[in-house]
Amino acid sequence: MMFGKPVFLITDVLIFFLVFVIILFFAYAMRKPHLRKPWRQVVRSKAGVISIMVLMLYVCIGILDSMHFNPKVENSSKDGDIQYSGEIQSVFDLIVSDIRNSTEKTYSAPFAAYLFAKETVQLEDGTKIREHPRLTWGGAHLANPELEKGADILRLAITGLVKALVVWLVLMTLLCLLLSVRAKKSFFAVTKNIAKGASDIPWRTIAVTLAVLLAVILVGAEWAAKYHVLGTDKVGEDVLYQALKSIRTGVVIGTLTTLLMLPFAITLGIMAGYFRGWVDDVIQYLYTTLNSIPGVLLIAAAVLMLNVYMGKHAEDFASLTERADMRLLFLCLILGLTSWTGLCRLLRAETLKLREVDFVQAASAFGVGPTQTIFRHIMPNMMHIVLITIVLDFSGLVLAEAVLSYINIGVDPTMNSWGNMINSARLEMAREPVVWWSLAASLFFMFTMVLFANLFADVVRDALDPRIAKS
Amino acid sequence: MIAYIIRRILYAIPILIGVNILTFLLFFVVNSPDDMARMFLGQKHVTEEQIEDWKSERGYHQPLFYNAEEEGVEKLTQTIFYTKSVRLFVFDFGRSDSGRDISFDISQRMWPSLAIAVPQLIVGLLVTISLALLIAFFRGTYIDYWAVVICVALMSISSLFYIIGGQFVMGKVLRVVPISGFEDGVFGIKFLILPVLIGIIGGIGSSTRWYRTIFLEEINKDYVRTARAKGISEQMVLFKHVLRNAMIPILTGVVVILPLLFMGSLITESFFGIPGLGSYTIDAINRQDFSIVRSMVFLGAVLYIIGLLLTDISYTLVDPRVRLN
């Protein structure tokens, strides 16, 4: 182990499991023409490829942030054995360790070289004056920030852009080479085709999106190495770092909630529709009852009880991170509890329809048992409903997290999340002048993820829903 | 019709019993009253007497289901299950953990909630339906395309942003209306404008898109084509035929939430300092007042079931094709 001893939090394991399932699904779907067709439609739409690329960026950060470990303690190998600190870090923390460790005293504005608040400073000759002191990290390399800052920011931006251009050119050349080999055409013909936007898959759109993303990442990285790009918060922590760390929380809530509720929704929905009779009555009763409690109140009640439970069993959690992780998992479970009913109802209705279809009737006429009929004939025919639900629910869940954290029934207060950022920043709007960056950063990061998730959901629904596909 | 309504009401009873048992399990079985007392009084340095006092003050000292110390029927009635859960069916919410009468608080606090929710619903419906109809009129054009994109973008913005942004721009920068507060009577209107406006703007994206889909579904139907073939102008088709028929799914969708308007909106009310049921619930959550949260869960379920009932009835009223069986 290079950096330390790996730690697997429960949500990490579930996230990797989810990634594994998704890869397995696509590996399987790509070999079946009827499953491949709708996804081809997705990657052929411009909105589809743009949103896939942006979401991939978010998900990659989320996955990197899910690889946790106990870092190695420096200078600990006196007698050969290595000691690990109890603190839990992620691989992503390692990548952005610069801005992670660059804390200031308190608030500072984006790109500031001075602290936001005035402080009493003692000069060398003993006189005290009140002024904005220099930041310990942000813009510390400048001798005279007032004069040099603008030029320095511009210089860093240009460096970033040049780097982005180089990376982009390399990637695009590789792509064109690959395409030309596959299509057995000349390199220039393929490049020209892409530039004209005449290709089947919108490669030109992909190229432009890639350029924009690379520029944003690399220019951002250049800036972040010298400044607090989005300022610092009350305790002087970098806001950009917080916003990036919050991505994992958002991704976990958006995906795991659905993953956790899927087994219940699928099993119960299919059972209700297939067996009918008293099974149907019981399951319908179950979801009508759960559904009739307003979601927020059910979540509030469950989280209150969770607080009591965690207070009682405080010693069960080895560290704060594990405790927060457990709470995140519970939140996903509770959110899943309130959201499985919709999918369950859809699946029940679809099963009712499917069991009367000829091929299912034929299967039972041949003596195929219910379990086999369900697994072979019914489940595969409603996977599109499940997939559409997964992508449609994602954005709603991310938004819900923010609202729940605001009313203190969301994720653990120690966990980085957009909801917690908004919650702690909203009082700062009353300050004069306004401390807006924390709020703006969390809202912007959340907005981009939700927007592209919504666009992606639309494209996927259009491609998968047979009713839309026909018309 | 009456037989149908009675049957539907009878059907609601087992669901309410289910909700009641669920909340009881959640509040008293998952965690014992002892745990709640410890939580409320602070984790450490709590004596047994303090816990007993806390419990008996609030009536949590009784056994859960069966009280062997009492005589006759009291064996069942002098229990937490009876006093705290069964009494909810007659809307006896009892006292909150801080000692206030919950029923009285609810009857006081539902009016401010309604003062926000009703105008927001009516004006919001008018605005979104008009917008959706306008988009449907331009269907298939660039206006339609970009309107949908804007709707998706509006949907993607957190409701917290609308509230914080609205308070900042209208209250702090422009100083048109007060940032938060509430007042009874006519002068209270100035406090209502901002929350109502923000509620409407926050809902525009998703509702407009949803209504547009309903309109488009209706526009593609045969009777609309017939109407057009007869030479009726596009405006006539939209207003006379499409709008009227599309109102069926729209209005029945609204009927479900009508009773829930009493509950108010948690976020809006707490941001704007409106003394409605929403902020009541939030305060209870923050103060860990289990009695109030339990009462609100039950009340919410009752209102939701009433909403479902009203939906079914309204379907039979507006759509003659629906039969009662």
What percentage of chain A has pLDDT greater than the value 90? 20
Count of the separate structural domains present in chain A: 1
Q: Could you tell me the CATH number of the domain that includes residue B192?
A: 1.10.3720.10
Asked if B62 is an interface residue toward chain A (Cβ–Cβ < 8 A), one would say: no
Residue B308 placed within a domain = yes
Structural domain that includes position B229: 109-318
Q: Are residues B141 and B287 in the same domain?
A: yes
Chain A with chain B: Cβ pairs closer than 8 A: 127
Q: Do B158 and A426 touch (CB under 8 A)?
A: no
CA atoms of B193 and A357, how far apart (whole Å)? 55
Closest-CA residue of chain A to B161: A443
CA distances from A88 to A331, A334, B118 (A): 21, 26, 49
One-letter amino acid at B23 equals: T
Residue A296 placed within a domain = yes
- Do the beta carbons of residue B199 and residue B167 sit within 8 Å? no
Asked if B280 is an interface residue toward chain A (Cβ–Cβ < 8 A), one would say: no
Q: Are residues B175 and B259 in the same domain?
A: yes
Among A77-86, A121-130, A240-249, A276-285, which is the least confidently predicted range?
A77-86
Residue A308 placed within a domain = yes
Task: Find chain B residues with C-beta within 8 A of A409's C-beta.
Answer: 285
Q: Are residues B175 and B35 in the same domain?
A: no
Q: Are residues B302 and B167 in the same domain?
A: yes
Residue A271 placed within a domain = yes
Task: Find chain A residues with C-beta within 8 A of B30's C-beta.
Answer: 305, 309
Q: Are residues B128 and B256 in the same domain?
A: yes
Q: Do B297 and A305 touch (CB under 8 A)?
A: no
Q: Give the residue from B55, B90, B125 where a domain finishes.
A: B90
**Position A165 pLDDT exceeds 50:** yes
**Position A20 pLDDT exceeds 90:** yes
Work out the average pLDDT over B234-255. 86
CA distances from A288 to A339, A340, A344, A392 (A): 12, 11, 11, 22
CA distances from B39 to A91, A138, A304, B1, B285 (A): 37, 43, 10, 51, 13
Q: Could you read off the pLDDT of B146-177 as tens digits, one per residue?
A: 999 899 999 999 888 888 888 888 877 777 77
Cα distance from A446 to chain B (closest Cα, Å)? 8
Work out the average pLDDT over A180-207. 84
Q: Are residues B136 and B241 in the same domain?
A: yes
Q: Give the pLDDT score at B265.
A: 82
Q: Give the burial class of A247: count Cβ atoms within 10 A of its Cβ; 0-12 exposed, 13-18 middle, 19 or more buried.
A: buried
Cα distance from B158 to chain A (closest Cα, Å)? 6
Residue A179 placed within a domain = no
Q: Could you read off the pLDDT of B87-99 as tens digits, one per residue?
A: 777 777 777 777 7
Q: Do B161 and A443 touch (CB under 8 A)?
A: yes
CA atoms of A251 and A398, how far apart (whole Å)? 8
**Position B325 pLDDT exceeds 60:** no
One-letter amino acid at B174 equals: L
Residue A132 placed within a domain = no
DSSP A108: B
Q: Give the pLDDT score at A449.
A: 93
Question: Which two structure tokens, joined as six digits, stand for B274?
Answer: 């409106």
Asked if B304 is an interface residue toward chain A (Cβ–Cβ < 8 A), one would say: yes
Q: Give the pLDDT score at B124.
A: 92
Q: Give the pLDDT score at B65.
A: 67
CA distances from B227 to A157, A207, A371, B213, B241 (A): 61, 48, 51, 20, 8
Q: What confidence category does residue A347 fall into, taking pLDDT thresholds of 50, 70 and 90?
A: very high
Residue closest to B20 by CA, chosen among A293, A309, A339: A293
Task: Find chain B residues with C-beta within 8 A of A395's C-beta.
Answer: 155-156
Nearest to A293 among B167, B282, B297 (CB): B297
CA atoms of A88 and A455, how far apart (whole Å)? 35
Residue B96 placed within a domain = no
CA distances from A156 to A68, A160, A169, A220 (A): 32, 6, 20, 9
Provide DSSP, B129-151. Answer: HHHHHHHHHTTTSHHHHHHHHHH
**Position A376 pLDDT exceeds 80:** yes
Cα distance from B171 to chain A (closest Cα, Å)? 11
Work out the average pLDDT over A209-217. 92
Q: Which residues pair with residue B184 across a beta bridge?
A: none
Q: Give the pLDDT score at B44.
A: 63
Q: Give the pLDDT score at A471.
A: 43
Q: Give the pLDDT score at B132.
A: 93
Among A21-25, A106-110, A180-184, B5-9, which is the least confidently predicted range?
A106-110
Question: Which two structure tokens, joined as six digits, stand for A68?
Answer: 């946790």
Q: Give the pLDDT score at B297.
A: 86
CA atoms of A303 and A411, how far apart (whole Å)? 10
Q: Are residues B86 and B208 in the same domain?
A: no
DSSP A276: -
CA atoms of A39 and A26, how far apart (whole Å)? 9
Please give the backbone phi and psi of residue B152, each rounded to the nearest 5 degrees, phi first. Answer: -60, -40
What percentage of chain A has pLDDT greater than the value 70? 96
Residue B126 placed within a domain = yes
Count of the separate structural domains present in chain B: 2
Residue A347 placed within a domain = yes
- Do the beta carbons of residue A111 and residue A153 sit within 8 Å? yes
Q: Which residues pair with residue A264 across a beta bridge?
A: none
Structural domain that includes position A281: 239-464
Query: Model's pTM, two decimal places?
Result: 0.88
Q: What confidence category does residue A138 fall into, taking pLDDT thresholds of 50, 70 and 90?
A: confident
Nearest to B19 among A289, A300, A312 (CB): A289
Q: Give the pLDDT score at B122.
A: 92
Work out the average pLDDT over A384-412. 87
Q: Are residues B173 and B63 in the same domain?
A: no
Q: Are residues B180 and B72 in the same domain?
A: no
pLDDT greater at residue A307 or residue A394: A394
Query: Sign of the CA dihedral A157, A160, A165, A168?
Result: negative
Q: Do B293 and A293 touch (CB under 8 A)?
A: no
**B148 CB-near residues (< 8 Å, 6+ apart):** B135, B209, B212
CA distances from A54 to A50, A164, A254, B152 (A): 6, 16, 16, 16
Q: Do B164 and A451 touch (CB under 8 A)?
A: no
Residue closest to B294 by CA, chosen among B11, B29, B8: B29
Q: Could you read off the pLDDT of A270-315 as tens digits, one per residue?
A: 999 888 889 998 999 988 888 888 888 888 888 878 877 777 777 7
Nearest to A294 among B168, B263, B282 (CB): B263
Q: Give the pLDDT score at B183.
A: 75
Q: Could you read off the pLDDT of A413-459 as tens digits, one per residue?
A: 888 889 888 888 877 777 777 788 888 888 899 999 999 999 999 89
CA atoms of B299 and B260, how far apart (whole Å)? 9
Q: Do A307 and B288 touch (CB under 8 A)?
A: yes
Give, for A168, the enclosing helix (H) or strand (E).
helix A145-183
Q: Are residues B80 and B167 in the same domain?
A: no
Work out the average pLDDT over B259-272. 83
Cα distance from A301 to chain B (closest Cα, Å)? 7
Q: Are residues B49 and B126 in the same domain?
A: no
Q: Give the pLDDT score at A213.
A: 93
Residue A274 placed within a domain = yes
**B219 CB-near residues (< 8 Å, 6+ apart):** B136, B139, B242
Residue A449 placed within a domain = yes
Asked if B84 is an interface residue toward chain A (Cβ–Cβ < 8 A), one would say: no
Residue B151 placed within a domain = yes
DSSP A81: P
Query: Average pLDDT over chain A, rounded to whole?
Result: 84
**Position A391 pLDDT exceeds 80:** yes
CA atoms of A171 and A215, how far apart (whole Å)? 14
Work out the average pLDDT over A217-235. 85
Nearest to A300 among B15, B38, B293 (CB): B293
**Residue ranges of the alpha helices (H) in chain B?**
2-24, 33-41, 48-58, 74-77, 80, 102-137, 142-155, 159-166, 189-219, 222-229, 234-236, 243-257, 266-272, 277-287, 290-318
**Position B78 pLDDT exceeds 70:** no
Q: Give the pLDDT score at A470.
A: 47
Nearest to A300 among B155, B285, B304 (CB): B285
- Quick one: angle between helices A383-406 and A239-275, nearest 10? 140
Q: Is A263 left (phi over 0), alpha (psi -120 to 50) or beta?
A: alpha
**A153 CB-near residues (< 8 Å, 6+ apart):** A111, A223, A227
Residue B324 placed within a domain = no
Q: Give the pLDDT score at A290.
A: 87
**Position A212 pLDDT exceeds 80:** yes
Give, for A130, the enclosing helix (H) or strand (E).
strand A128-131
Q: For residue A33, is the peptide bond before it cis, meaning its omega torsion is within 30 degrees of 0?
A: no
Closest-CA residue of chain B to A439: B161
Pairing mode of beta strands A119-122, A128-131 = antiparallel
Cα distance from A334 to chain B (closest Cα, Å)? 12
**Position B70 pLDDT exceeds 70:** no
Q: Could you read off the pLDDT of A32-66 as tens digits, one per residue?
A: 888 888 888 888 888 899 999 999 999 999 999 88
Q: Are residues B85 and B115 in the same domain?
A: no
Residue B103 placed within a domain = no
Cα distance from A139 to chain B (closest Cα, Å)? 30
**B243 CB-near residues (< 8 Å, 6+ apart):** B129, B133, B215
Q: Give the pLDDT score at A166.
A: 94
Q: Could you read off the pLDDT of B105-153 as tens digits, one per residue?
A: 888 888 888 888 899 999 999 999 999 999 988 888 999 989 998 999 9
Cα distance from A74 to chain B (closest Cα, Å)? 37
Residue closest to A466 by CA, chosen among A37, A87, A104: A37
Chosen for mutation from B60, B285, B302 (greatest number of chain A CBs closer than 10 Å) is: B285
Q: Give the burial class of B8: count Cβ atoms within 10 A of its Cβ; 0-12 exposed, 13-18 middle, 19 or more buried.
A: middle
Q: Do A407 and B266 touch (CB under 8 A)?
A: yes
